[in-house]
Amino acid sequence: MKKHHLGRFEVLFMICLTFALAGPVCGQDKAPGPWFKATQVADSVWVIDDHGNDNMYLVEGKTKALLIDTGIGMGALAKFVQTLTTLPVIVVNTHGHPDHAGGNYQFKTVAAHAADFEMIKMFGGKDYLKNSAQRALAGPSIPGTVTLADIEASQPSELKAIKQGDVFDLGGRKLEVVEVPGHTKGSICLLDAANKLVFTGDNDNSLVWLFLKDCTPLDVYLQSLQKLQARNAEYDKILPGHGTPLPKEFVADQIGCVRGILDGSCTVEPYKSFAGNASLCKYKSAAVAFDPANLRSEKK
Ligand SMILES: [Zn+2]
C-alpha cells in the first residue's frame, strides 16, 4: 500500500513557510496598526485577532479569566491580555500547532491535552520561534510585537495535562474540556454551556485540515464531530480558531462532509497548500482537506 506521509521536518519547514508567506499579507501590506486587536463577541468574551493569523479568546469569570490559545507568539500577548482584564489568567491550548500554542513561552503554565505535548514542545523551541520571528517580524515594525531578545530570554512554559470532562472554574462561569481528536490527536473544545458557547480551535473551521502527518484517521475525526453534535443543546455559537463565529448547525454540515468522504459519495477535488497536497471535499457550508490514505483506523 502506498501511504505517503509528510515527514516532521517537511511539515516544520512548510509551517515556517506560512509565516514567510503571511508576512506581506498580514503585516506589511495591511494598514499600520498594532499586532493585536480585541473585539467583544459575547458577554465577557473577547476574540483577539493575532494580526490576521488566527483567533485567540479571552473569557472572564468573576474571579479568573481564561486565555484560549496563544497565537503564533510574535505579539506581546501576555502584556496585551493585561489591557483586557485585571483578573488572574489561566492559559489553555486547543491543540499544539504553532499558530495556536506559539506564544506559550510568555506564560509560566499552560494547560493542554498530553497527546499534543510533544508538538507543543517542538514548536515552542527557541530555534523555531526565532526562525518565525525573523520571517514574521521582518519589514516595518508593528506596535505590540516581541523582539528576538524577548524570545532569547524566555523559558518554556510548564505544561499541565487536561482531559475530557475537566472544568475550568472562573468563578460564576465554567468551561468544560471536550476531547475532539482529529486535526491533532490532542485537540480539545471548551464548552461554556451556561452561556451557550463552544470554543473549537481548528476542529470546526469552515475548512479543516485533516491531511497532516499528526492528524488522526478520518473516522476518528467523524466520532469527534458526532460527540460535539450530541451536545449541541448546550451551545448556540461556535467560536473557531480561524474565521468568524459559526452557527451550531455547521457541525451537521461537517458530519455530512466527512461521511461523504468515507462512503465515497463526495466528488473530491485536488487541494494544494503550503503544507502539501491533499484531497478536498465540500459539503454545504463545510469543507475538509484530507489524505485518502488515512481514512480509517487500523482494525485490531
Ligand atoms: Zn491547527
Strand partners, 188: 179
Residue % of the chain over a pLDDT of 70: 89
CA–centroid distance, 33 to ligand 1, in Å, is 26
CA–centroid distance, 172 to ligand 1, in Å, is 30
User: For residue 67, what are the contacts with CB-CB under 8 A and spacing of at least 6?
Assistant: 56, 57, 58, 77, 81, 89, 90, 91, 92, 107
pLDDT at residue 10 greater than cutoff 60: no
CA–centroid distance, 61 to ligand 1, in Å, is 27
CA–centroid distance, 3 to ligand 1, in Å, is 22
| Cα distance between residue 43 and residue 195, in whole Å | 8
Other Cβ atoms less than 10 A from the Cβ of 221: the count is: 25
| pTM for the full predicted model | 0.90
Other Cβ atoms less than 10 A from the Cβ of 182: the count is: 25
Q: Where are the domains of the chain?
A: 1-163, 175-236+243-295
CA–centroid distance, 183 to ligand 1, in Å, is 6
Element (H, E) at 289: strand 286-290
Distance between start and end Cα atoms, the chain: 18
Mean pLDDT, the chain, whole residue set: 91
CA–centroid distance, 69 to ligand 1, in Å, is 11
Averaged pLDDT for residues 47-66? 98
